[in-house]
Structures are given as structure tokens and as C-alpha cells.
């Protein structure tokens, strides 16, 4: 091997040494630029190494992919990482898988990221960065699942609570509507009852009014009848009087015997009564004559 290097140096001593020097210098500059955070300079330097100096080393290709990742050139970075993940070098392949996991982690695609971290550990179990990322992401995913499960339970509980509240609100509304309906019904019943009472009272008042009117008409009719009856009676009396006078004029004067019959006195008894009356009359005349002839006492009053 040493002899082969010497032969190459002899054949083209200046060209190969100059290229090696340029490659080493470019690697150093690219690495320093990357560490300083000057990713664009590092990217351009690595690209110079690959395209111009023809360097195809996996380390250079991996560092070049890192500069693409830092510059947000995600598509080219992923392509380079995917090629390097197939490398026979376990370290290179593990780091490439780790970086693919980081790309998906940045996109919050945690399940693919976890799978790439797992592949990184499979290819190189000694990759502590990949192990740390894997464990951390695994816990994060579990927390998300737990949180999601908790959120789902809370959502379910909230939905149930909302449903209960809605049912309660609906029940309250139904109760209020029912109470209002009952109240309206009671008010309507009271109104109907009052209307009925008013109607009955009006009917009663009308009946009383009609009865009073009938009574008044009846009373007026009775008065008119009484007037008519009185008038008829007067007319009848007048008529009877006229007829009586007429009868008196037309009929002969009753005889003493007829009058005695009307008085239910016999003639003998009548004679006795007349004799008594004559005797009394004679006695009365005689007594008056005696009183008139008696002298007055001047010392006494006339009475």
C-alpha cells in the first residue's frame, strides 16, 4: 500500500497533493462555518467539495444534508438522508434515520418521527441522541393520547352535561309553559265563570225587570180594570138608580098592609103599637102643659 501511494505521488506528485490539500481545507472551512452557524457558507463549501472536488464520502454527504436541513431545504435534505439511511456504515445510517425523525417531528407528524427514531436505534443502539429523542417522543405521544382520551372524556362529559342542561332547560321551559297554560286556563275559567255569572246576573236582572214590567203592567191593568169596574159599577148604579126611579114611577105606592108584610108585623100588633104611641104622645103633651102653668121662683134661676 505504501508503495502504491509512492507510485501515485511519483506519477502526479503536485496534482494529487494539491487536491488533497484543497479537500482538507474545504472540509475544515465547511465544518467551522457550520459550527459558527454560517450554514449558507457551510452549504456552499460542502457543495464545492461534492460537485467540484468530487468528494463522495458519507460524512461529507451527511454534513451537506445537515446544511440543507438548517437552511429549510427540507426536500433535498430528506432525499439525502434517505440515501444515507441505506449506508453500510451503521453510524451514518443511524444519524440519517435520526434526522429523518427530526424532520417529521418538526412537522408534528409524531408517529412517523417515532418510527425513524426507532430505526436509528436498530441500526446503532449506541446512538444516545436517537434514544433520548425516541423516549421523549414516546412519552409525548402517550401524553397526547392520554390528553386526547381525557379531552374526549371531557367532551363526552361536557356533551352529557350540555344534554342534561338542555333537558333541564327544556323541562323548565315545559314546566313554565305548563304552568303558564294552567294559569291561562285558570284565568280563562275564571273569566268564563265571571262571564257566565255576569250573563246569569244580566239574565236575572232582565227577568226581574221583565217581571217588574209585567207586574207594573198587571198593576196598571188591575187599576184600569178597577177603574173600568168602578166605572161600570157607577154606570150600573146610575143605571140601577135610573131603573129604580123608573120603577118607582111606574110601580104604585105600597099599601100599609104591604109595608107591614115587609116589616113582618101583623095588623093587630101594629094597632097595639099605634095605641101605645098615641098614649105616649098624650102623656107628653099633658106634661108639657103642666110645666108651662107653674109659677117662676124669682129667687132661683130659670134653669
Confidence of residue 247 (pLDDT cuts 50, 70, 90): low
pLDDT at 83 over 60: yes
The pLDDT value given to residue 30: 94
Long-range contacts of 277-286 (CB under 8 A, 24+ apart): none
The pLDDT value given to residue 246: 64
CATH assignment of 2-145, given 1.25.40.10, 3.90.1300.10, 3.30.505.50, 3.65.10.10?
1.25.40.10
Domain boundaries, the chain: 2-145
Q: Are 84 and 118 in contact (CB under 8 A)?
A: no
pLDDT at 88 over 70: yes
Tell me the C-alpha distance between 166 and 168, whole Å.
Answer: 5
Tell me the C-alpha distance between 255 and 244, whole Å.
Answer: 18
Full-model pTM: 0.51
The pLDDT value given to residue 34: 96
pLDDT at 89 over 90: yes
Amino acid at each position: 500500500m505504501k508503495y502504491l501511494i509512492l507510485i501515485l505521488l511519483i506519477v502526479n506528485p503536485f496534482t494529487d497533493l494539491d487536491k488533497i490539500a484543497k479537500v482538507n481545507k474545504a472540509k475544515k472551512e465547511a465544518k467551522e462555518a457550520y459550527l459558527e452557524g454560517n450554514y449558507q457558507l457551510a452549504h456552499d463549501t460542502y457543495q464545492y467539495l461534492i460537485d467540484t472536488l468530487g468528494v463522495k464520502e458519507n460524512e461529507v454527504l451527511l454534513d451537506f444534508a445537515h446544511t440543507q436541513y438548517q437552511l429549510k431545504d427540507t426536500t433535498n435534505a430528506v432525499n439525502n438522508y434517505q440515501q444515507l439511511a441505506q449506508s453500510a456504515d451503521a453510524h451514518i445510517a443511524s444519524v440519517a434515520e435520526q434526522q429523518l425523525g427530526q424532520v417529521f417531528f418538526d412537522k408534528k407528524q409524531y408517529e412517523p418521527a417515532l418510527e425513524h427514531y426507532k430505526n436509528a436505534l436498530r441500526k446503532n443502539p449506541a446512538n444516545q441522541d436517537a434514544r433520548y429523542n425516541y423516549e421523549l417522543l414516546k412519552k409525548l405521544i402517550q401524553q397526547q393520547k392520554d390528553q386526547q382520551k381525557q379531552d374526549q372524556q371531557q367532551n363526552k362529559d361536557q356533551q352529557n352535561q350540555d344534554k342534561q342542561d338542555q333537558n333541564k332547560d327544556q323541562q323548565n321551559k315545559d314546566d313554565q309553559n305548563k304552568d303558564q297554560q294552567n294559569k291561562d286556563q285558570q284565568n280563562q275559567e275564571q273569566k268564563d265563570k265571571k262571564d257566565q255569572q255576569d250573563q246569569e246576573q244580566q239574565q236575572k236582572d232582565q227577568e226581574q225587570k221583565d217581571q217588574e214590567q209585567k207586574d207594573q203592567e198587571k198593576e196598571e191593568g188591575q187599576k184600569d180594570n178597577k177603574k173600568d169596574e168602578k166605572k161600570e159599577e157607577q154606570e150600573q148604579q146610575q143605571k140601577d138608580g135610573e131603573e129604580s126611579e123608573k120603577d118607582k114611577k111606574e110601580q104604585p105606592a105600597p099599601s100599609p098592609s104591604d109595608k107591614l108584610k115587609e116589616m113582618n108585623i101583623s095588623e093587630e100588633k101594629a094597632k097595639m103599637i099605634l095605641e101605645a104611641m098615641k098614649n105616649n104622645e098624650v102623656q107628653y103633651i099633658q106634661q108639657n102643659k103642666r110645666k108651662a102653668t107653674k109659677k117662676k121662683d124669682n129667687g132661683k134661676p130659670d134653669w
